[in-house]
Structure 1
Amino acid sequence: MTEEPLDGAGLDGTWSDEAEWAEFEAGEPGEEGGDAAPQPVLAVVGRPNVGKSTLVNRLLGRREAVVQDTPGVTRDRVTYDALWNGRRFTVVDTGGWEPDAKGLQASVAAQAELAMKTADAVLLVVDARVGATSTEEAVAKVLRRSKAPVLVAANKVDDRRTANEVHTLWSLGLGEPMPVSGLHGTGSGDLLDAVLEAFPATPRELLASGGGPRRVALVGKPNVGKSSMLNQLTGDQRAVVDEVAGTTVDPVDSLVELDDEVWRFVDTAGLRKRTKTASGTEYYASLRTKGAIDAAEVAVVLVDAAQPLSDQDLRIINQVVEAGRALVVAYNKWDLVDDDRRRMLEKEIDRDLIQVRWAERVNVSASTGRSVAKLAPRLRTALESWDRRVPTGQLNSFLSDLVAAYPPPARGGRQPKVMFATQARTRPPTFVLFTTGFLEAGYRRFLERKLRETFDFTGTPVRLSVRVRERRNERKGRR
């Protein structure tokens, strides 16, 4: 078999496996894009533990909202995309609404009230087994003044006796109550039909999802200041903030204008444990956070600069890297850091974050707003690197000079040759090297470092894959 050189291929002009090369020459698959059409918004409200999140999951047709028997699991207003009978809309799940709430519950109530004011339709969920309490009556009094249409869902109608009690909810003055079971799905189709009929022809608020703004995940361990950062960015109390660690359970979406550009920020639950060892609400919150990282393009990992770097911090950073997302490390609470702590932090970074020395860094204070404006340039740099593609000719010219000056170490008495290289895809930048032998891990790290320095891959992981060419006699033996 005669080996024909590919056009422009090979650092030494030869490479025979054209089929394997063609697999990578095609480049990355097309990216999904396009701006999402405006969608009407349904706000789901009610007092704590009436089954709002269970009903939301039923309406969505998938398990998205965190559900647990403990009242008050949902604390922020959380948006989900829904589809029924070919029509898309946004569902906003809210924290339990208490008219006389104080402290944390007062913040939860404010989130629910804001959702009611900005929604195109409101769904009041009532526990049919309990009936209308003084809380429902207070909520109904507010909703009767609302310009948006209101529907009443009599939830937990799981038997005939409960179904007979639904009519008592007419007393709320919000129209006919609709019996439904979030747990079993009874009546959910009729409820969805009624929701679509209640929506106006033109949505009140444009909550576009997908496409458009670059997606940013705010991640970090509990109480590191993620929700405070989101509130600082948005300029309002978009997320619930409390001194109690772990206030955020679900991811919270916000459109943020930063440095004349709109970004989609997602505030996530603080990660205490590995997903495999977490339980209950924490387990599902960990899954939501992992999903938020996977759905994001760049992650901002918040670290408490006033405290020593912890295993949790390192684990979260590694999770972002493993997901292949662009990375910005934001050292929060910088207003609490003195000179001694700054010197100690630099040592910790040099010791513990040596593998992610390429990450973008910024020192900020979510409480005072210090240097928050510097986030946007760091995000842009990281995303530009994440999207960067190196032309094949330029890549091979660089590798030819590098390998000639620093050849790979011999293994088993034979020195491998790097025959050809190509960038297989972006997001993150992934390079494939076709070689005549195995490249040691240390040499691969050396090549990655030189790639970063030469082509400026600041703020993004870089992946390097090696394809070893079979020897000619081995290929003949397989025929």
Structure 2
Amino acid sequence: MSDVKRVAIVGRMNVGKSTLFNCLSTNIKSLTLDLEGVTRDFIKDVVSWQGVDFELVDTGGISFKKLDNEIDEAVRKIALNAVEESDIVLFVCDGTVGVMPQDQEIAQFLRKHNKNVILVINKMDSKRTEENIAEFHKLGFEKTVLVSAQHARGIGDLLELIVIELNKIPKKHVKEEEPQFKVVLLGKPNVGKSSLLNLLLKKERSIVADVPGTTREAIQETIKFYKENIQLIDTAGLRKKRAIKENIEELMVKSTFHAVKHADIVLLLTDVSEGRLSDQELKLAFYVFEQGKALIMLFNKQDLLDEEIKERFEFESSRYDFFLKRLETLNISCKTEKNVGKILPLVEKVWHRYSQQLNDVVLTELFKSELEKRPLYRNENQLLVKRVKQVKTAPITLVVYVNLPQFFEDSQLAFFENIMRSKYDLKSVPVQFMIRKA
């Protein structure tokens, strides 16, 4: 994409900003509940309409007073920055209640910063709400669209107006390359994902506070590392099902698993100060690998380790060496920034392993020679490999043509995987097999 403009959705809390975002976005969904403050970090997506692409940003509820609550204050700053960096602002108001004092504050801020504003009067679902329209003219914005985001009414009119306004903006001729691959930060609540994202981006993008559940949505940024464009995605922390009490946390889990599904590499953060890998973290690690995603384990909070906790963690982790030895692991501390600078080089190295194309002739000879050394039998029948062909990268996927496919089960596939890992550098990279009749 080139010269993509930014359109920010702003407004006070609970006016339907996230519902509007979901109407306009085709890929990423924002959390929507009838509760104040559901959106904390801003999320974004590229929207295309009538051949025009633009970046759509959903912000948290905007406020101009410095707030005592650490999380709310971080939300406020991030939302204001998103507005200041935008080309067009969709100022969303609630048509059912008319103009509120906070609406007037936001309008004053937008006029002061000379922003190109489209006033979006939402929740226009009845004639009674239409009586409030005249009141909104007092805000002083010429371009106004009436919508019902919940029922997708007026969305086409809004998109057409956005495109008209975008076409008036001079082109910057700035070329932005698509990301080569996606990296998801995964882990339990409060393990340090948002702190790590901010360190990697070298700016405040994700909200950080010592409160579980601070990040509620999967948020994303693209960074340049050497020649690679990497999309980083910070997810909501995953808790055990029995710990999920609110609807909002159920939505957080769905958002996180959606992010993993579309990832290439997963950075799984764990808190080593707990002295062990939890069952949930191990299940997450196995799940990621089973989904065909590359996996790097980051052992965070090394600054909190004493010798006793370190020994306990090493002892507890040793029980899973059969799996952990397949992975790249890194001891880090987001607080002291220990080894944080090694993460992106490691990510790049794993990506090249994950996306490599192997030689089919070499693969075939490798499998045949290994089966000559260690023949496989089933019901006195020798199992033979005739040909091996790589059909996919990221993850590496091999079609193995054999004489008796009905006898190739999990143990034989594990044997094939060991062959691959003994020959190639595949640390942190899953390998998938498809068995076919030769």
Partner residue of 2:36 out of 71, 77, 82: 71
Distance 2:323 2:266 in 1: 17
| Residue equivalent to 1:222 | 189
Q: For each residue in 1:96-118, what CA deviation from the matched residue of structure 2 results, as whole angstroms up to 9, or x when unmatched?
A: 11223332211111111001111
Amino acid at match of 2:121: A
Residue 340 of structure 1 pairs with residue 308 of structure 2: yes
**Are the counterparts in 2 of residues 124 and 152 from structure 1 also a CA contact under 8 Å?**
yes
**Cα 1:203–1:75 shift into 2, 3 Å:** farther
1:313 is paired with a residue of what secondary structure? helix
**Are the counterparts in 2 of residues 271 and 316 from structure 1 also a CA contact under 8 Å?**
no
Is 389-398 or 432-441 further displaced after alignment? 432-441
Partner residue of 1:195 out of 147, 159, 162: 162
**Are the counterparts in 2 of residues 156 and 181 from structure 1 also a CA contact under 8 Å?**
yes
**Cα 1:339–1:258 shift into 2, 3 Å:** farther
Distance 1:177 1:390 in 2: 57
Displacement of 1:398:
1.7
**Are the counterparts in 1 of residues 117 and 143 from structure 2 also a CA contact under 8 Å?**
no
Displacement of 1:393:
1.8
* Aligned 1:42-441 pairs, distance under 5 A: 42-60=7-25, 64-100=29-65, 101-103=67-69, 104-199=71-166, 200-202=168-170, 208=176, 211-258=178-225, 261-273=228-240, 280-307=247-274, 308-352=276-320, 354-408=322-376, 410-437=377-404, 438-439=407-408, 441=410
Distance 2:174 2:317 in 1: 42
Amino acid at match of 1:71: E
Distance 1:70 1:353 in 2: 45
Displacement of 1:123:
1.0
Amino acid at match of 2:420: L
**Are the counterparts in 2 of residues 431 and 465 from structure 1 also a CA contact under 8 Å?**
yes
Distance 1:419 1:129 in 2: 70
**Cα 1:346–1:467 shift into 2, 3 Å:** farther
**Cα 1:45–1:368 shift into 2, 3 Å:** same
**Are the counterparts in 1 of residues 41 and 207 from structure 2 also a CA contact under 8 Å?**
yes
2:413 is paired with a residue of what secondary structure? helix
| Residue equivalent to 1:448 | 417
Query: Could you state the TM-score of these two structures normalised by the residue count of structure 1?
Result: 0.84
1:42 is paired with a residue of what secondary structure? strand
**Cα 1:228–1:63 shift into 2, 3 Å:** closer
Distance 1:278 1:380 in 2: 38
**Are the counterparts in 1 of residues 332 and 339 from structure 2 also a CA contact under 8 Å?**
yes
**Cα 1:62–1:232 shift into 2, 3 Å:** closer
**Are the counterparts in 1 of residues 3 and 172 from structure 2 also a CA contact under 8 Å?**
no
Distance 1:228 1:401 in 2: 49
2:315 is paired with a residue of what secondary structure? helix
Displacement of 1:366:
1.5
**Cα 1:206–1:316 shift into 2, 3 Å:** farther
**Are the counterparts in 2 of residues 99 and 135 from structure 1 also a CA contact under 8 Å?**
no
Distance 1:286 1:50 in 2: 24
Distance 1:352 1:278 in 2: 31
**Cα 1:89–1:175 shift into 2, 3 Å:** same
Amino acid at match of 2:327: A
**Cα 1:148–1:213 shift into 2, 3 Å:** farther
Amino acid at match of 1:393: V
Q: For each residue in 1:210-236, what CA deviation from the matched residue of structure 2 results, as whole angstroms up to 9, or x when unmatched?
A: x33432111111111111111111122
**Are the counterparts in 1 of residues 28 and 45 from structure 2 also a CA contact under 8 Å?**
no
Distance 2:387 2:148 in 1: 61
Distance 2:53 2:207 in 1: 28
Matched residue count: 431
Q: For each residue in 1:19-40, what CA deviation from the matched residue of structure 2 results, as whole angstroms up to 9, or x when unmatched?
A: xxxxxxxxxxxxxxxxx23311
Amino acid at match of 1:368: T
Distance 1:273 1:262 in 2: 34
Distance 1:217 1:207 in 2: 25
1:183 is paired with a residue of what secondary structure? helix
**Are the counterparts in 2 of residues 155 and 182 from structure 1 also a CA contact under 8 Å?**
yes
Q: For each residue in 1:27-80, what CA deviation from the matched residue of structure 2 results, as whole angstroms up to 9, or x when unmatched?
A: xxxxxxxxx233111100111111111111122367711111121110011101
**Are the counterparts in 2 of residues 120 and 204 from structure 1 also a CA contact under 8 Å?**
no
**Are the counterparts in 1 of residues 37 and 61 from structure 2 also a CA contact under 8 Å?**
yes
Distance 1:344 1:440 in 2: 37
Displacement of 1:304:
1.1
| Residue equivalent to 1:463 | 432
Amino acid at match of 1:354: F
**Are the counterparts in 1 of residues 273 and 305 from structure 2 also a CA contact under 8 Å?**
yes
Distance 1:252 1:63 in 2: 10
Let me know the Cα RMSD of the aligned residues: 2.4
Q: For each residue in 1:209-264, what CA deviation from the matched residue of structure 2 results, as whole angstroms up to 9, or x when unmatched?
A: 7x334321111111111111111111221011122211112211112344675422
Q: Unpaired segments of 5 or more residues in structure 1?
A: 1-35, 470-479
Distance 1:455 1:145 in 2: 60
1:138 is paired with a residue of what secondary structure? helix
**Are the counterparts in 2 of residues 66 and 74 from structure 1 also a CA contact under 8 Å?**
yes
Displacement of 1:138:
1.4
